[in-house]
Structure 1
Amino acid sequence: MKPFFFIDYDNTIFSHRTWAVPDSALEALSHLKELGCRVVLASGRPFRYTSLPEEFQGRFLPDCLVSSNGAIIETPEEVLWEKYFDPELQTRLLDYVVEKKYCLMSSADGKWCTSNLERFLELASPRQRKLLPESGEAFQKIYHCQMTSFFLSDTEEAIADVQAHFPELKLLYMGPELGGADIIPAENGKVIGASRILSHYGLTWEHTVAIGDSMNDIDLIRKASCGIAMGNAMKEVQEAADYVTADIDADGLARAIAHALKLAGLLA
């Protein structure tokens, strides 16, 4: 059987150093589709088929999406699963980060919002500052929106504090390069989302490949029959992987895919 791929987006497909997708990555993803391998975009971002990355246009269409760390499961034909934050828990989380003056990020009504714009400007990189979020009334709207996840764009100390205060949540650290942490309900995650995809196709974890770089990928990398960490991945993720490929900006994804295809006997 041909391998079934689950591939992360940020710092696996999309480089946060160059703010671009390497050509080698897009070529490798297209090649997988040509070989008849199924490819799932497994991301912490809330991707939908109506909002895929611009770089994919005309070059690559994933077979399925595991978005918002498993809260959204979608094929081109149908939505298989949607799981939103409990409204009461969402309100408590938002109140807490506002009280603590942490920088929480999310999107509401198509607008990128933050709980603390001053904190955002203090911690963000020059490139991130160009994506200037709104605050105030724009952020207040998030209280009344159905949300699948949040991003705490703050320090490791802030992440640890929110995790300790909300054991019913998972805070998934993105590592020192990207920083911050995805915030999801404890019952969600990429492994659960991937399991729903496999069940949809009547498949098991045998012949699965997972490729990623950060803590929201580590369980998926451990669960897949072939777990691959990027060369730029966090140390814990590399230690959990069966294979460590090159850095994202050194054709790391293309090399990871070539390794998996070689193991499957699809590449000499």
Structure 2
Amino acid sequence: MPSRTARSRAIFLDIDGTYADHGLAPEAHVDAVRTARRLGHLVFVCTGRPLAMVPGHILEAGFDGTVTGAGARVEVHGEILKDARFEPELAARIVAALDAHNAAYILEAPEALYGRTGVDRRLREVLGPIFAGRPQHDGILSTDVDPLEDILGPMRYSDDLRSTSYAKISCFDSPVPLGRVMDDFGPEVGLIPSSLSALGERAGEIFMAGIHKAVGIRVVEERLGLDRADIVAIGDSANDIEMLEYAGVGIAVEGGHPAVLAVADRVTAPPAGNGVAAAFAELGLLG
């Protein structure tokens, strides 16, 4: 049995821009997760990515569970506690609207990502220049993972996606501002900006209203009997706002979304600066 510290915490980690950069985590973060768990703390992935898009090398660090799809799916110690999807009729209407505006999008489900035939070529055109300019990290983080392949690897393609079951949509290129397209769906559907800010109003994440990362955290909290005051959340993007607000300690990443920084109790460095490991150390999670 692992030794337990006087006060055990439950830590929820965003992946992109927090625990990892372009799908790769620094060794210091992997070591921090393993050390904290050995000392009796619980550590969870809490990401906007669907499970299908969480790389095995990320999970190899060892986690107590995953909150994926920005709160739509929750798994703890191998047990699936939540798997929310868009209601089929609404799901089909949203797809039809995106197709009518010739948007480039991906439907996200735990088992796979779904796109229209040919969307991979469109994504290479739109995202290629953005990823080509990504910063190098002087050996602190490897950059040999192609971020485009990180997205396209789990993809399945079809000419008609209206019957597809999914939990979230990532739209990367809409000729009409995405907010205008989503206005027709009212309060059932939420929209937040894309984490790729360079894409502007033509991009964003479309989600089920009322589903966000804090919802997933509450599922874990209730199942394991956690004390909210002992919950720690670390993130950097717009879909991390609710979880940082909900956690007993909310930690934002330097350079993150302004609204995330505004609600945070603390700030830590990005992955290239081993920020997760630094935050764990400051909270006394590493012994």
Please state which band the TM-score falls in when normalised by the shorter chain. Answer: 0.7 to 0.9
Supply the AA of the counterpart residue of 2:18: T
Cα shift at 1:182 = 2.6
Is the deviation greater in 153-162 or in 31-40?
153-162
- Map residues 62-141 of structure 1 onto 2, 5 A cutoff: 62-106=63-107, 110=112, 113-114=115-116, 117=119, 119-125=122-128, 126=132, 127-130=146-149, 133=152, 138-140=157-159
Is the deviation greater in 138-147 or in 3-12?
138-147
Cα shift at 1:165 = 3.0
Match of 2:230 in 1: 207
Matched, 1:171 2:191: yes
| CA distance in structure 2 between the aligned counterparts of 1:12 and 1:178, rounded to whole angstroms | 19
Supply the AA of the counterpart residue of 1:159: L
| CA distance in structure 2 between the aligned counterparts of 1:5 and 1:132, rounded to whole angstroms | 26
Q: Deviations over 1:76-135 (max 9, x none)?
A: 33211111111111111111111111111135874652576354233213444456859x
RMSD: 2.8
Q: Greater relative contact order: 1 or 2 (C-alpha under 8 angstroms, separation 6 or more)?
A: 2
Contact 2:102/2:175 (CA < 8 Å) preserved in 1?
Answer: no
- Percent of counterpart pairs with the same letter? 25
Contact 1:33/1:39 (CA < 8 Å) preserved in 2?
Answer: yes
Matched, 1:183 2:215: no
Aligned to 2:244, the other structure's residue is in SS state helix
In structure 1, list runs of 5 or more residues that go unmatched.
none
User: Which residue, out of 11, 15, 18, partners 1:9?
Assistant: 15
- The 1:176/1:80 distance shift into structure 2, 3 A limit, reads closer
Q: Deviations over 1:121-158 (max 9, x none)?
A: 33213444456859xx9234532232121211237973
Cα shift at 1:11 = 1.4
| CA distance in structure 2 between the aligned counterparts of 1:222 and 1:184, rounded to whole angstroms | 19
- The 1:70/1:87 distance shift into structure 2, 3 A limit, reads same
Q: Deviations over 1:175-205 (max 9, x none)?
A: 3458543321002111111111100012231
- State TM-score, norm by structure 1: 0.84
| CA distance in structure 2 between the aligned counterparts of 1:107 and 1:185, rounded to whole angstroms | 12
Supply the AA of the counterpart residue of 1:194: I
Structure 1: which 4+ aligned runs deviate by more than 6 Å? none
- The 1:155/1:31 distance shift into structure 2, 3 A limit, reads farther
Match of 2:276 in 1: 253
| CA distance in structure 1 between the aligned counterparts of 2:268 and 2:175, rounded to whole angstroms | 26
Cα shift at 1:33 = 0.8
- Map residues 142-161 of structure 1 onto 2, 5 A cutoff: 142-154=161-173, 158-161=177-180
- Map residues 53-68 of structure 1 onto 2, 5 A cutoff: 53-56=55-58, 59-68=60-69
Contact 2:232/2:249 (CA < 8 Å) preserved in 1?
Answer: yes
- The 1:101/1:52 distance shift into structure 2, 3 A limit, reads closer
| CA distance in structure 2 between the aligned counterparts of 1:152 and 1:225, rounded to whole angstroms | 32
- The 1:42/1:116 distance shift into structure 2, 3 A limit, reads same
Cα shift at 1:43 = 1.0
| CA distance in structure 2 between the aligned counterparts of 1:237 and 1:244, rounded to whole angstroms | 10
